[in-house]
Amino acid sequence: MSADAIFINMLPVIPMKGLVVFPNMVIHFDVGRKKSKEALEHAMNNGQKVFLVAQREYSDDDPESTNLYKYGVIANVKQILKLPGDILRILVEGESRAKLEDFIQTEPFFICEVTSVTEISLKNKKYNEALIRKAHNLFEEYSRFVPRMPSNLMSVVSSNSDVGELADTIAGNIMIDVEDKQEILSISNKTRRLEHMALILESEIELLKIEHKISGKVREQIEENQKDYYLREQMKAIMEELGEGENPVQEAEEYAEKIAALDIPIDSTEKLFAEIKKLSKMPSGSHEATVVRNYLDVVTELPWNKFTKDVIDLQKAKRTLDKNHYGMEKVKERILEVLAVLKLCESVRSQIICLVGPPGVGKTSIAKDVAKAMGRKFARLSLGGTRDEADIRGHRKTYIGAMPGRIITAVKQAGSSNPVLLLDEIDKLGNDFRGDPSSALLEALDGEQNFAFRDHYIELPYDLSKVLFITTANNIESIPEPLRDRMDVITLSSYTSDEKFNIAKKHLFPRQLKENGLKPKNIKITNDALIFLIDSYTREAGVRTLERSIASLLRRTAKQFIEDESAVIKITPQKTEELLGAPKYKKDDYSDKNDVGVANGLAWTSVGGTILAVEAVTYSGTGKIELTGSLGDVMKESAKAAVSILRSRASDYGLDEDFYKTRDIHIHFPEGATPKDGPSAGITIVTALLSALTGACVNSSIAMTGEITLRGKVLPIGGLKEKLMAAFRAGIKTVLIPNDNLSDLHEVDNAVKEGLTIIPVKAIDEVIDNAIIRLPKCYQKTRALKVSSEVIPLEPQ
């Protein structure tokens, strides 16, 4: 027992839920719990005194002894009223603070031993008076923020001059937490009690000020909204009088009918109905209503369950491809294989076809022919220069000007859920701070994921698994690896001169005649004129420039035809040069004269193959090596490797052992403004450099391609088909290729293989034997010894 306490008695306990009673406080409350009613009955039979103590957990209807605070108040029961529902309403008066020491009984109700608490105060009278005045001022300020404050309470507080009673009166009549009230009740020092009460009042006043400020802002907003609502209602009434009003309920019903007709999954339907409900509660002219209305219009216009039936006739498809595309037999065969699989197995996940080839070879037209052969709708997306991920997946509909992505838009334009979508120029995708469009395409082009493609604007899963995606690219290497892995690549190569001639004669010339308003009977063009036009005015892998040249030729002819409509104009090579001017290109890309230090290489570009001449000169110096022609790192390394090979074999080739000290070397690749890189010019550099060092000529009718190693081995290269076609187009007679590239010859057109002498080589010596004319005798002897010493393996028995 504490020193400041006096033993009182054993009293029944009534636990209080969310209520703290202070001394001298008269209050009534309801009693309904069985334990409390039995405790009250015991008190009425034994002096009418009870111990009122707050419980810690408000929600506990049957509190344990440990759930009660230690400090409470001894109260005298003044009155009991019975209310309906077996509820007792009692009136009590708090007499004194008391501390719960121990429980004498816990069942069927609490009886505990309590001790009264002796109250003390500081003897500094001036301090107590100042503290009382401060409390009065704080309570007055507090009462200004609290509505419905009893009028007599202010006078009671103002007239109270006892520090302890003043703290109890304020604590018992303001809205603060039970924990704070319990803290006040437990302080026996009256001065300290009022100090603590003053701190609580200051904190409450600050909170009330903030609440008052927020309430003012809310009130202003409500008044503004009421004003807007009133004005909108007036406008609505005026529009209805004029017959221009919209009925929100009718509009919502129309959207509901459209959504019910979509036959989409229940989750998507519920989300759309939630949007309709939101729309029906909005003013028709508000910005939010416009956003929701646009969203519902887009969703309901999508072809959710509309499919075109595939009518795949392979014979008809073959005739269509043959009619519109000359040559390309392997490509057309590959397309027919895809169509055959789709016809046999309709449930198979659609393949992603990627058509790779130089510009103007017919990639886009092939995609259109595939759609036509399948009887499907066709839509095209040009991805060139796309840098924003939102172009693919759309914007969130909450943004101003939001719209769905280009894939969903294309499906909407096609009008079916199984169209042929052409993603043109997929290798030209870019990326910046707005995202990576190629990453956004991964889900759309993955057959395992695109059955639930989510556009940011639509926010509903849309099935793209029935869509046949066809992509086009000029350079497969520019497509990111994860995206490339999802596609089945079909390569379209450059056209040969013969193919260009037939395409021009059967397709381009008749089409341009029609587009320029001319008739075949009025304009004739000879075969020699077409060949001259192809060789002298165009240099490309495809036929776009050729078609533009034909169009330019016919426009100039049309002018003459207008002057004499009865004339029959015949276009010959001479007439072609007269109309188009001097030829832009010579037929041959190489010199027909054998020269020293010049070798013909072959290069691959995004528009097809080309002849790449390598020039080398040497002169007296200190062994410097100069490389020019806008070369990349790999090509520079190939040039250094070529010098090392010649240094290691100087005696074999009849070179001065110290040539790398006494001679400066300059290797140049013409067309210096064009960037060049890659290892395939290795053997060409060795040949040109050896010719320059020895003074022996290089055979100008030979072109070559191959990577070189320091041991003189010739390694395989890429782009063989395009390189051989460039050699064939330029009139080259013989081409040296790596022996390991022999397996790639099956992709080369028969006309090219028949027009070239193709020699496979394994080592640099074989290249020199074929390409360089009249090397020094010492090399010929060394070479003869090497050949004679080779061991010829026996044939297996």
CA–CA gap between residue 533 and residue 500 (Å, rounded): 10
| Cα distance between residue 226 and residue 283, in whole Å | 13
The string of DSSP codes covering 738-750 is EGGGGGGGGGS-H
| Separation between Cα atoms, residue 465 and residue 349, nearest integer Å | 6
| CA gap 295, 397 in Å, rounded | 7
- Quote the CA–CA distance of 224 and 228 in Å, as a whole number: 6
| Catalytic residue (choose from 332, 500, 676, 723) | 723
List the one residue out of 45, 32, 47, 38 whose CA is nearest residue 13: 38
Taking the C-alpha atoms of residue 349 and residue 451, their distance in angstroms, rounded to an integer, is 10
CA distance 717 to 678: 9
Q: Is it true that the peptide bond before 670 is cis, omega within 30 degrees of 0?
A: no
Closest by CA to 724, choosing from 698, 700, 697, 746, is 746
| Residue that is written with structure tokens 């550099």 in the block | 685
Beta bridge partners of 713: 763
Q: Which of 725, 732, 675, 320 lies closest to 492, judged by CA? A: 725
Residue 680 is a catalytic residue: yes
Annotated catalytic residue 723: yes
| Cis status, amide bond into 108, omega within 30 of 0 | yes
Q: Which of 680, 691, 700, 721 is catalytic?
A: 680
Question: 62: buried, middle or exposed (CB in 10 Å: 19+, 13-18, 0-12)?
Answer: exposed
Q: What are φ and ψ of residue 10, in 5° steps?
A: -100, 120
Distance CA 772, CA 594 (A): 9
Whose tokens are 């188009």? That residue is: 580
Strand, helix or coil for residue 395: coil
What is the spatial distance between Cα 311 and Cα 374, in angstroms, rounded to a whole number?
A: 5
Q: Could you give the CA distance from residue 600 to residue 250 in angstroms, rounded to a whole number?
A: 78
SS3 573: helix
Number of Cβ within 10 Å of residue 656's Cβ equals 12
* Residues forming the active site: 680, 723
